[in-house]
């Protein structure tokens, strides 16, 4: 007999009508409530993560992409020496990380290092310590990174059984992951050994279920998965976040003066964007990269759509660079530059993954391009925003600190030449004002047709340009000018099929959660946000703005109650429908603006905040170009509807 709670209903998605069972929605609603509870508790549980660490995207080197598990101290130190010899450290590449494979076994609350590959760890008293190794890196002016797993066991134990560097001993001795040992491990790794960064992987809470053959054979203890890789809706984000919070709290306690940089490796699973920014400075958004064009694009996409989650101290991580490897090697310099451009424009951590000792001068030139690195490291911390995507062409724009300055990447994802063009206005710049355009790979000025940027692109080519122009509207900012000032919280709805492949995104500029373009009439609304129903979008206005105009709207059908709050006070509320009603709000002295979307209903799971235009307080009243006439600025708590 069918369960009435499984009654199906449908909602529109990019891929057509989607069937969802009510039971699944109930599960999602419960999950969401617990995530909210967790976030509310989070403040007490872990200290605020904005501690100045990773104010710009972290840069460094990691052995995994090129060496897998087959490396040790000598290899790492010689790569570190290359960083300093080539001056890459002075360009920002400072974190030198150890990945999986450094341990021999766990002895209760201590971990024994595999001294066959880390000989300096063997101390005269018979104990082991990575402190001498860390000291060597520090003496070179570099920072040292280490690796653990949030579960009992580690990725290599499950996925690389042939590795010579797997933990040894009894079932318990081989449990080198940090589960159940947060305090002791943090004291060892940070207070005692002095590491500056830790990558915290998650295979231990994903891949050791009771039905796994090796678990059944008694090689490992069973761990009920908190990450259900193939069935993301069955993952347990609340418990997973609690585990990360516990370790991070211990890490901060163990190193109160300079907290370590926390790199969360949960592959974009278990709603990592909802909680990771609280506990880590970077979090993976997808599975492991491999040195192929296809894999690189997949990982790029997983981070590129999430611009509103990133900012100083919190970065989407599409994984380490493959520049110099495989399809991005010396024979594929166009693709290598494209890969580097893409990571730069989306403010991704730049963690090199190639063998620096065997790198050709052309590859070295790519990773050492100062202008490209400057795009990535801009202090405003804005992640580039997708402006358009059609066929193989894609355009991403990153607002730089200087007003009127935008970096743009024009990307050819395909294997045929294409032409791409974008209007300057769609990039948020004035078509009438002077515009200087520079190609950051050639270093040359580029001529452009009036009001547009247009280019031809070879297969797999990305052109990375710096545009210096005038803002489209004087003293008015749009979301794409300041994505780092946004934060995204979720109070109600989870897409039932948010697999990495589906790329469901809670909130983004110019697109709805399933990737449909956000349309206003027949125009793509580059100044609007597409969000999930039940979401709450925070914008740090910091008292710098005087008014905000926007139009809350149901993108497809139905109606629902929305709210706009300023520092917790209701500035506007009402019922949004598919009609466009512009609101103008007085936000003088408001530090945090919050846009609260209607709760989800059967037919309406997405919502739109159209044309968000934020007028700076310092702007004089008689300057031209303001889309918010003074008379239409509503008083506090008052809402004015203006039909368009």
Q: Under the rule (CB under 6 A), what is the footprint of ligand GLA?
A: 64, 99-100, 155-156, 201, 265, 288
CA distance 601 to 603: 5
Q: How far, in Å, CA of 176 to CA of 69, rounded?
A: 15
Q: Indicate the helix (H) or strand (E) that contains 306.
A: none
Q: Are 90 and 146 in contact (CB under 8 A)?
A: no
Nearer to ligand GLA by Cβ, of 75 and 288: the residue is 288
DSSP code for 357? G
The smaller minimum CB distance to ligand GLA, of residues 15 and 159, is found at 159
Active site residue 201: yes
CB of 155: closest distance to ligand GLA in angstroms?
A: 3
CB 222 within 8 A of CB 215: yes
The strand order across the sheet containing 569-576 reads 486-490, 535-540, 592-596, 560-566, 569-576
Tokens at 386, concatenated: 């997708």
Residue number closest to ligand GLA, CB atom: 155
Of the pair 288, 516, the CB lying nearest ligand GLA is at: 288
Phi, psi of 277 (to 5 degrees): -60, -20
**Do 367 and 339 meet the contact criterion of CB atoms below 8 Å apart?**
no
Q: Say if residues 190 and 241 touch (Cβ distance below 8 Å).
A: no
Nearer to ligand GLA, 100 or 271 (CB): 100
| CB nearer to ligand GLA: pick between 154 and 386 | 154
Of the pair 200, 241, the CB lying nearest ligand GLA is at 200
Q: Cβ closer to ligand GLA: 141 or 161?
A: 161
Q: Which is nearer to ligand GLA, 99 or 236 (CB)?
A: 99
Tell the residue number behind the tokens 């991580």, with chain if given.
Answer: 317
Strand partners, 146: 198
Residue 265 C-beta: closest distance to ligand GLA, Å: 5
Specify the pairing of strand 581-586 against strand 545-553. Answer: antiparallel
Closest C-alpha among 551, 404, 423, 378 to residue 481: 404
Closest approach of ligand GLA to the CB of residue 148, in Å: 10
70, 288, 392, 567: which is the annotated catalytic residue? Answer: 288
- Residue count of the chain, please give it: 644
Relative to beta strand 16-21, strand 59-61 is unpaired
Residues 368/336, Cβ–Cβ less than 8 Å: no
> Distance between CA atoms of 500 and 464, rounded to whole angstroms?
27
The H or E element containing residue 474 is none
Task: Report d(CA 587, CA 30) in Å as an integer.
Answer: 34
Task: Report the C-alpha gap between 194 and 22 in whole angstroms.
Answer: 50
Nearer to ligand GLA, 98 or 238 (CB): 98
Helix (H) or strand (E) holding 417: none
Give min distance, CB of 584 to ligand GLA, in A. Answer: 47
Q: Is 408 helix (H, G, I), strand (E, B) or coil?
A: strand
Helix extents (H) in 176-216: 182-186, 213-216
Using CA of residue 236, residue 239, residue 241, residue 243, what is the dihedral sign?
negative
Longest dimension (CA), the chain: 80
DSSP letters spanning 107-158: ETTEEEE-TTT-GGGB-TTS-B-SHHHHHHHHHTT-EEEEEEESSSS-HHHH
DSSP helix/strand/coil, 632:
helix
The position carrying tokens 């297969």 is 459
Of the two residues 265 and 633, which places its CB atom closer to ligand GLA in the complex? 265
Using CA atoms, how far apart are residues 316 and 314, in angstroms rounded to an integer? 7
Q: How far is the CB of 481 from ligand GLA (least distance, A)?
A: 33
Q: Which residue, 260 or 560, is less far from ligand GLA as judged by CB?
A: 260
| Percent of the chain that is helix, strand, coil (3-state, to 5) | 25, 30, 45
**What minimum distance in Å lies between the beta carbon of 248 and ligand GLA?**
18
Active-site position among 99, 100, 185, 201:
201
Residue 547 phi, psi dihedral angles, 5° rounding: -150, 155
- Catalytic positions, written as ranges: 201, 288
């Amino acid at each position: 007999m069918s369960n009435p709670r499984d009654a199906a209903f449908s909602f529109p998605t990019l891929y057509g009508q989607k069937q969802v069972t009510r039971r699944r929605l109930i599960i999602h609603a419960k999950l969401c409530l617990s995530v909210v509870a967790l976030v509310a508790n989070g403040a007490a549980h872990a200290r605020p993560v904005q501690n100045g660490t990773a104010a710009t995207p972290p840069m460094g080197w990691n052995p995994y992409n090129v060496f897998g598990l087959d490396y040790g101290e000598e290899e790492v130190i010689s790569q570190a020496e290359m960083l300093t010899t080539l001056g890459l450290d002075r360009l920002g590449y400072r974190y030198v990380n150890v990945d999986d494979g450094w341990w021999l076994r766990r002895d209760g609350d201590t971990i024994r290092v595999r001294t066959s590959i880390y000989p300096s760890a063997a101390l005269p008293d018979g104990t082991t310590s990575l402190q001498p190794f860390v000291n060597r890196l520090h003496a070179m002016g570099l920072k040292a990174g280490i690796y653990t797993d949030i579960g009992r066991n580690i990725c290599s134990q499950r996925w690389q059984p042939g590795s010579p560097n797997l933990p040894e001993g009894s079932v318990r001795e081989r449990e080198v992951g940090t589960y159940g040992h947060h305090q002791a491990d943090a004291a060892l790794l940070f207070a005692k050994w002095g590491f500056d960064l830790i990558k915290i992987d998650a295979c231990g809470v994903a891949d050791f279920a009771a039905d796994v053959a090796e678990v059944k054979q008694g090689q490992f203890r069973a761990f009920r998965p908190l990450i259900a890789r193939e069935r993301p809706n069955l993952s347990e984000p609340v418990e997973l976040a609690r585990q990360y919070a516990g370790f991070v709290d211990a890490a901060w306690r163990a190193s109160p003066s300079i907290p370590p940089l926390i790199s969360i490796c949960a592959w974009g699973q278990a709603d990592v964007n909802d909680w990771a920014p609280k506990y880590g400075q970077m979090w993976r958004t997808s599975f492991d990269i491999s040195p192929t064009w296809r894999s690189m694009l997949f990982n790029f996409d997983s981070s590129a759509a999430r611009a509103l989650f990133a900012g100083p101290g919190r970065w989407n991580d599409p994984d380490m660079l493959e520049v110099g490897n495989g399809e991005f090697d010396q024979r594929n310099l166009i693709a290598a530059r494209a890969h580097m451009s893409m990571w730069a424009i989306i403010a991704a951590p730049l963690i090199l993954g190639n063998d620096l000792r065997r790198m050709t001068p052309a590859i070295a030139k790519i990773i050492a391009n100062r202008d490209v690195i400057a795009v990535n490291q801009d202090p405003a911390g804005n992640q580039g925003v997708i402006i358009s995507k059609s066929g193989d062409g894609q355009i991403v724009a990153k607002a730089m600190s200087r007003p009127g300055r935008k970096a743009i990447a024009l990307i050819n994802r395909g294997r045929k030449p294409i032409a791409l063009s974008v209007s300057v206005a769609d990039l948020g710049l004035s078509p009438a004002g002077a515009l200087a355009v520079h190609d950051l790979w050639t270093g040359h000025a580029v001529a452009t047709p009036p009001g547009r940027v247009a280019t031809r692109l070879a297969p797999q080519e990305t052109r990375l340009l710096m545009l210096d122009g005038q803002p489209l509207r004087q003293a008015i900012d749009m979301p794409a000018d300041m994505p780092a000032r946004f934060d995204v919280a979720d109070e109600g709805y989870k897409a039932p099929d948010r697999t990495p492949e589906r790329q469901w995104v809670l909130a983004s500029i110019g697109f709805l959660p399933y990737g449909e373009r956000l349309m206003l009439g027949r125009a793509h609304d580059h100044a609007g946000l597409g969000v999930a129903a039940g979401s709450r979008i925070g914008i740090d206005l910091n008292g710098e703005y005087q008014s905000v105009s926007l139009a809350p709207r149901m993108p497809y059908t139905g109606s629902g109650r929305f709210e706009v709050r300023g520092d917790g006070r209701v500035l506007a509320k009402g019922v949004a429908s598919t009609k466009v009603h512009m609101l103008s709000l007085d936000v003088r002295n408001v530090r945090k603006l919050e846009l609260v979307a209607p709760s989800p209903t059967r037919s309406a799971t997405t919502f739109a905040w159209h044309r968000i235009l934020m007028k700076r307080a310092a702007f004089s009243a008689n300057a031209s170009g303001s889309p918010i006439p003074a008379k239409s600025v509503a008083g506090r708590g008052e809402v004015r509807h203006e039909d368009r």
